[in-house]
Amino acid sequence: MAKFRSNHTKKGGKSGDTIVRVGLFAAIAGGLFYIFNLFSGKELPGWNDSGSKTDPVITEEYYYLPSSTTGQIVEHEYFTLSYDEEHEQAEWVAYVLKGEEVSMPWVDRPDYFNADPKVKSGSAEWEDYKNSGYDRGHLIPAADRAFSEEAINETFFMSNISPQSRNFNKGIWRELEETTRAWAKKYKKLYVVTGPILTDGGKGSIGKNNTITIPSSFYKVLLDLSEPGMKGIGFIIPNEISYEPLYKYAVSIDEVEEQTGINFYEELMERDLEKELESKMNIDLWEFNKAKYDLRIKKWNQ
């Protein structure tokens, strides 16, 4: 924290007292500002030798939250989501996925789902999916937060659940989730945004009052935080069984934005990186596992 010193050393001087009080106030305010930024997950700007501000360093705590089309953002300890009451599910979940976390031993999965108490409008309930013919599909996978009981329990809030075709959930969606964790180990940390595509109205509804939209497709957007602004990739996959290789569904982030109406990485606009990152997609920068594809075709799709 910056130190403030008065040049007025005369005891009892009103001018000196005023400066000291101003200095103390500024110091306290500066400290509070620092604490606010520390706990908000953003790193403060630094200062270079010429006295000009430098850009914040991007770390795993520097979250690039997408835009919310619903205005209902819910912050949990281990991920953030934007809830869409009209479709009774999240339009996106966002979180940092670290290689060190997914390499830790997994805790046991809970055997229950809970309504999300932080969704002010009320989330779906587990009974809404009963006998629907659709899986309670996780948006942030339980395995991505299996390093602690508290973390994995959060993934079983119904706000993190979306109707998924069974062969999609246990097939190509599983392959994408496992591939994403493998990339997290390889690249150390990824920023992940996942959600259903709801702008097309979906392909029907489930639930006690038919309030839960069945998405026609799901998306996942990844940013490699070891190379922020340099490497990103998106996926859009139909909510159905697939026999195509995973890379066939890779798209630019611009394409995901167009189909969802969501703006990703708004913070990067100030860095002149957003346009290049979102418009370009090079699958050669991402390693796909053919053995995992073969396993899906032979076993997971069955």
Q: DSSP characters for the chain?
A: ------S---TT-HHHHHHHHHHHHHHHHHHHHHHHHHHTT-PPP-B-TTS-B-PPPP-TT---PPP-SSS-EEE-SS-EEEEETTTTEEEEEEEEEEHHHHTSPPPPPPS--B--TT-TT----GGGGTTSSSEEEESS-GGGGTTSHHHHHHTTBGGGEEEE-HHHHTTHHHHHHHHHHHHHHHHSEEEEEEEEE-TT-TT-EESTTS-EE--SEEEEEEEETTSTTT-EEEEEEESS---S-GGGGEE-HHHHHHHH-PPP-GGGGGGT-HHHHHH---GGGS---HHHHHHIIIIIT-
pLDDT of residue 113: 95
Q: Which of 220, 233, 237 lies closest to 280, judged by CA?
A: 233
pLDDT of residue 50: 40
pLDDT band for 272, please (50, 70, 90 cuts).
Answer: low
Residue 36 clears pLDDT 70, i.e. is over it? no
Assign residue 190 a region: left if phi > 0, alpha if psi is -120 to 50, beta otherwise? beta
What mean pLDDT value characterizes the chain?
81
Rounded Cα distance, 276 and 222, in Å: 15
Residue written as token pair 């309930």: 125
Q: Domain ranges in the chain?
A: 1-40, 73-300
pLDDT band for 14, please (50, 70, 90 cuts).
Answer: very low
The pLDDT tens digits for 24-35 are 434 434 443 333
The pLDDT tens digits for 114-126 are 999 999 989 999 9
Residue 243 clears pLDDT 90, i.e. is over it? yes
The tokens describing 187, both together, are: 């690249």
The tokens describing 301, both together, are: 């799709």
Residue 231 CB-half CA count within 13 A: 14
For residue 89, give the amino acid letter.
Answer: Q
pLDDT of residue 54: 40
The pLDDT tens digits for 79-123 are 999 999 999 999 999 999 999 999 999 999 998 899 999 999 899
Range in 57-61, 280-284, 294-298 with the lowest mean pLDDT: 57-61
Q: Looking at domain 73-300, does it have CATH number 3.40.570.10? A: yes
The pLDDT tens digits for 159-203 are 999 999 999 999 999 999 999 999 999 999 999 999 999 999 999
Residue 137 clears pLDDT 90, i.e. is over it? yes
